[in-house]
Structures are given as structure tokens and as C-alpha cells.
Structure 1
Amino acid sequence: RLHGITCGLATASDRAYDPRRVWGFLDCGPFETEEELGGSFIFDKRADFAAFAIVENLTDQLLGVVMLSNDDPWNLSIQLEPPVVKPRAEGTVEQIEACFLLVDRLFALGYRRVQLAVDTKDVGGKKLAGRLGFTHEATLPKHMIVKEANRDSNIYGMLNSDWDRGARAYMYKKLHGAELQKADGAKYVKEGEWEAQVKRHQEKKAAEAE
């Protein structure tokens, strides 16, 4: 299904387009067949990599994939890759929410830092970083060689401390509105208090056992 929405051919819901709009800033693609796509890094089974489908809620149609790479459990950091989506889905609520849900889950699991590396020529990638509230931290000249060409990269980051201080609430409000954000914020605080209470209880039991 991913090949069908990223190969550039016209579909029932999309006009034909140049597939380089999807794959131009990536180190692979476009792909002529599903088999070629299946052999790409998107379907790699590596310990430090994972890919997740982005699905439109109302139609259940696949819009693309969002990926995590460079997982570093020791330092509790990981990299969010710019989503691979068909042109119609770029900048949509579904794309932004998919990234939001992943980042939110990562910080809930204890990660301290999520990084996003974007080609300096990738306008869509830079807009995505801004929409997600990531901070531009650096520009790395000659960061990579992509498709036999030099790539300079903008590095963006989100820290767990910034996420908890307001970035999460800001993103939730943008996606779902002020009323739902307020309700979610109250729930988020209660969950944090509950987790802290459980932790204190566990520490107390451990101390008593000693």
C-alpha cells in the first residue's frame, strides 16, 4: 500500500505527481515496484529503528509512515525522521498528530531528548519542525551524502523538560482546541501525581524490605 501512494501514479483520491516530491530528500527511492520498496530501510528490522503507519481516521486510508531511528537507550535519546507521506498529506493534522503521539509516548517512556535532522533545502521538513515546536539547535555542513550529493542538515531538538513545561500543552491545543487541551492537561497532571505516588510506595516497600 505504501508504494501505491508514493509512486506518483494517479489514484482515486490523488492526481499524478513527480515521486521525487516524496523521496527527493531521502537516501532511497523512488521505487518502481513494491518489492524494491520492501527492500528499503523503511522495512529494516534493526534494534534502533521502527516505522509506524499514518492512517486517516475517517477513511482508514494509509497516508504514509513516520519513523524513529538512532535509538540510544543508554542516553535516553532518539531521532524522529520526517514522515514519508503522499503530497496531499504533507502538513495535515494527521501528519502532525502522528509525530505528536510518538513524541508524547517517547517522553512518557522516559526518553530525555528527541532529535529531528532535516535537509537544509527541505522546506516541508523545516515547517514540520516548527509546527512540532522543536528548537533549531545547529546546522551541520556536509552532514551526509545523499544520492551522491552533499547534504547539509538542520538539527532540531525537543527535551523532556520543555515538553512538560508547555510544549506538549501547546501542541495539544493546536491539534484539538483549548477546551480539550484543558481537560487533557488535568488528566496529565493526575497521571503524573499517580505515578509519583506509586514510585514513593515502591521506594518505601524496598526500604522496609532492607
Structure 2
Amino acid sequence: MSERPTGPVVTGFAPPPAPDLPRIEGRFVDLERLDPARHAEDLFAANQGQDWVWDYLGYGPFAALADYRDWQARMAASTDPVFYALRDRAGGRVGGVASFMRIDRANGVIEIGHIEIAPPMQQTPAATEAISLMIGWAFAAGYRRVEWKCDALNAPSRRAAQRYGFAYEGIFRQHMLTKGRNRDTAWYAIIDRDWPRLAEAHRAWLSPQNFDDQGRQRQSLSALTGS
């Protein structure tokens, strides 16, 4: 019988830690472990009248602040997903949430998901930096693979994944039911050997030299990551 091929031996790998930092600081944004007492009111107000932001999520919209605060309390108590609130350093307001989820320490795999950016923070350097900080933390902690998954119909999320440098890996058909609707899921990932190049692209995009006096980017992140 001919030899059956197997994958390369992985040496030096140890299960990385679960996300446990209370705060991750950036230039434009700070990520703070979710706390409904500190974060619910700002974010509820930022999402008011914008019910479309919940279209591809498995929860929301929330009719009242109390309902949203209760949801945040449940998420804040979770160890998977681990939620962070995104606080804009310039204005001091909370403009979104994101989480580390499907945390598979034994295999060094982690996903960034449950991303909900309110309209005031969308398409800002703070929103971009928040995800970049999360990816960077994961690889610095020793994860081998960072995943991004979204509804295959969610075109903005798919564009965002490619902009950050996530590689498209395919569609899982009939993967989930979300709010009673079928969801085909698009899968993307960055692996550890790809991150050094992408990290340099992220640093270049976030550098002060990449923005003019009006705060407009000189080079797009898509151009820098090669997506």
C-alpha cells in the first residue's frame, strides 16, 4: 500500500489562554470588558431608530433600554463568547460591541463575532482599529487561526472580512436558523503565518501619516492588505 499523506507535525504549540484582559487600548478606540452599567445606555441610544443594524444578528432590535441592559448582562456573564464594548477615545462614547467566541484553545482557534457597530462609529478608524486589536491580541496570545463568519447575504460584513485580510474559505449551506430564517454562512480566516504581513498593513493604515488634516485616509486598508 502506498504511503498515505498526513499533515506536518506542529511543534512548540501550547494551548493559548482564554481572553481575559479587562481592557485593550488603541489609538482611536479602547476595548472594555462588557459592563451593562457602563455601556448599555450609550449603545442603546446610538442604535435608536436604526433597527436594520440587527438584521443579521440572532437578537435585537430591543424595544426598551431595560431589555437591552438585560441582554448585555447575560453576555457580560459569558465566558464564550467574551464581549467587549468599543469606546471611541475622541468622544468618549461607546459605539459598538464585539466578542471573542468559539474559543478552541486546544487547537488554537478563535473567532471574532457578534460584531454590532452603531451608525455613528461605522466606517471610522475606531471601528477598524477595534477589530485589528482583537486579531492582534489573538495571535500574540498564541492562537494559530482567527475566524470570521457571517450570513452569506451580509455584503458589508463580507467586504469587511476581506478588507482586514481574512481569506475566504467557502459557504456552509443551511448552516443555521436565525430569527426563523435560513442562514448560509460565509467562512473566512487568517492563520498565524499570514498575520505578520497583514499586521504591518494594519499598522500602516492606522498610522497618523495615513490620514490628512481632515482625517481622510490616504491609502485604503484593502489596498494595503492586498485584498
TM-score range, shorter chain: 0.7 to 0.9
* Structure 1: distance between partners of 2:61 and 2:70: 12
The more displaced of 112-121 and 83-92 is 83-92
Partner amino acid, structure 2, of 1:4: A
1:168 to 2:199 alignment: yes
What is the correspondence of 1:91-170 to structure 2 with a 5 Å cutoff?
A: 91-164=123-196, 166-170=197-201
Q: 1:33 aligns with which of 38, 41, 64?
A: 64
Q: Is the 8 A contact 1:97 1:175 kept in 2?
A: yes
Q: How many residue pairs were aligned?
A: 168
Partner amino acid, structure 2, of 1:57: R
1:60 to 2:92 alignment: yes
* Structure 2: distance between partners of 1:46 and 1:120: 26
* Aligned residues with identical type, % of pairs: 26
| CA deviation vs aligned residue, 1:36-78 (integer Å, no higher than 9, x gap) | 2233377252322111111111111111111111111111111
Give 1:29 deviation, angstroms: 0.3
* Structure 1: distance between partners of 2:199 and 2:76: 30
Q: Which runs of 5+ in 1 are unaligned?
A: 9-17, 180-210
Q: Is the 8 A contact 1:144 1:151 kept in 2?
A: yes
| CA deviation vs aligned residue, 1:66-118 (integer Å, no higher than 9, x gap) | 11111111111111015211123223211110000011011111011110001
Say which structure, 1 or 2, has more relative contact order (CA 8 Å, 6+ apart).
2
* Structure 2: distance between partners of 1:82 and 1:92: 18
1:78 to 2:127 alignment: no
Give 1:35 deviation, angstroms: 2.3
Give secondary structure in 1 for the equivalent of 2:129: helix
Q: Whose Rg is larger?
A: 1
* Structure 1: distance between partners of 2:155 and 2:161: 10
Q: Kindly tell me: are residues 27 and 4 of structure 1, through their superposed partners in 2, closer, same or farther at Cα, counting changes over 3 Å?
A: same
* Structure 1: distance between partners of 2:120 and 2:78: 30
| CA deviation vs aligned residue, 1:130-185 (integer Å, no higher than 9, x gap) | 22111001111111100100011110001111002x01101111121679xxxxxx
* Structure 1: distance between partners of 2:185 and 2:122: 20
Normalized against structure 2, the TM-score is what? 0.69
User: In proportion to residue count, which structure has more helix?
Assistant: 1
Q: Kindly tell me: are residues 38 and 55 of structure 1, through their superposed partners in 2, closer, same or farther at Cα, counting changes over 3 Å?
A: same
* Structure 2: distance between partners of 1:161 and 1:141: 28
The more displaced of 116-125 and 39-48 is 39-48
Q: Is the 8 A contact 1:100 1:171 kept in 2?
A: yes
Task: Say what the alpha-carbon RMSD is for the aligned residues.
Answer: 1.8
* Structure 2: distance between partners of 1:178 and 1:115: 30
1:49 to 2:87 alignment: no
Normalized against structure 1, the TM-score is what? 0.74
Q: Is the 8 A contact 2:96 2:115 kept in 1?
A: yes
